[in-house]
Amino acid sequence: MTALLAGKVVVVTGAASGIGRAIAVGVAQHGAKAVVVSDLVEAPREGGPTTTSEIQSLGVPAIFVRTNVSQRAEVDALLAESEQFGGVDLMVCNAGITLRSDGADVAEDDYRRLMSVNLDGVLFSAQAAARQMQALSKPGSIVLMASMGGVSGAGMTVAYSTSKGGVVLMAKALADALGPSGIRVNSVCPGTIDTALLRNTPGVAEASEGFRQRTPLRRLGKPSEIADAVVWLGSDMSSYVTGVPLLVDGGLLSVL
Ligand SMILES: NC(=O)c1ccc[n+]([C@@H]2O[C@H](COP(=O)([O-])OP(=O)(O)OC[C@H]3O[C@@H](n4cnc5c(N)ncnc54)[C@H](O)[C@@H]3O)[C@@H](O)[C@H]2O)c1
């Protein structure tokens, strides 16, 4: 559709399904040179063709690398795979989970499992990308997937909100640490986006109709609308933007 990402190699975690899948396909549509698709499993949660085959059908090289982002060694191996295309220019740390039971009394095991993906996994992914960008002297862009739940708290998602608030601050701190190397780090905070995660999270699924009614645009968001924001943050059109939490929520957090 555009050449906004011409020549750029993109790595996306959690890219088999949902928002990550839309991002991986979206960057290919906007001219990416190659896309490294990474996830625990290759099959999309919502069914249909794999992300890699969709990208390849656009004529863009794509590979799938099985990665559990909570394991540092696996994330390092993922970034090593991007070297066959010349190394990563845009790293999208998107993989994240919710809990079936979250709230003020969240169980310790669940809390630690969620943090290992939503915080450890995002940090490990950003670190591995930054190390490679610095080694190759690339002025890259790193996008961390946060949430509107990382800007405002919700009682039904105490652990999730805590993790996503951490991601928002992580982007600010990394922007400071990596800015002198020419590396930009921003977070994206989606509102209610119609994916399997939203539909399968107890409490959130039921609340989504209420969110929709309170959203100024009166609809849920589409994964492709998050992808568009990531394309902009990965492109040179946002060359002076770093440390920002970018809300893509139909206006939900802007109104009482
Ligand atoms: N859907 C929403 O309304 C919404 C709103 C705000 C933020 N988000 C965030 O957007 C991101 C994507 O969410 P989604 O709605 O597309 O969810 P999804 O469940 O559809 O997709 C998430 C993907 O991450 C993968 N994943 C889970 N654990 C992983 C791990 N340890 N290592 C690697 N991959 C792993 C899953 O296999 C899945 O393919 C998440 O970080 C989520 O918190 C979603």
What is the per-residue pLDDT across 140-159, written as a single tens digit (0 to 9) for each? Answer: 999 999 999 999 999 999 99
d(CA 118, CA 158): 13
CA of 137 from ligand 1 middle (Å) equals 30
Across residues 81-105, what is the average pLDDT? 97
179 pLDDT higher than 90: yes
Q: Is the dihedral of CA 83, 86, 89, 92 positive or negative?
A: negative
202 pLDDT higher than 90: no
* Element containing residue 111 per DSSP (H, E): helix 108-115
Across residues 89-117, what is the average pLDDT? 98
- 137's torsion region: left (phi>0), alpha (psi -120 to 50) or beta? left
Ligand 1 atom 20: the closest Cα is on which residue? Answer: 18
Percent of the chain whose pLDDT exceeds 70: 100
1 pLDDT higher than 90: no
199 pLDDT higher than 90: no
CA of 180 from ligand 1 middle (Å) equals 30
Ligand 1 atom 7: the closest Cα is on which residue? Answer: 147
Q: What pLDDT does residue 205 have? A: 81
Q: What pLDDT does residue 71 have? A: 98
Q: What pLDDT does residue 201 have? A: 86
Ligand 1 atom with minimal separation from the 192 CA: 3
In which order are the strands placed within the sheet that holds 34-39? 62-66, 34-39, 9-12, 90-93, 141-145, 184-190, 245-248
Ligand 1 atom 32: the closest Cα is on which residue? Answer: 68
Q: What are the catalytic residues?
A: 147, 160, 164
Domains of the chain from N-terminus onward: 9-247 (3.40.50.720)
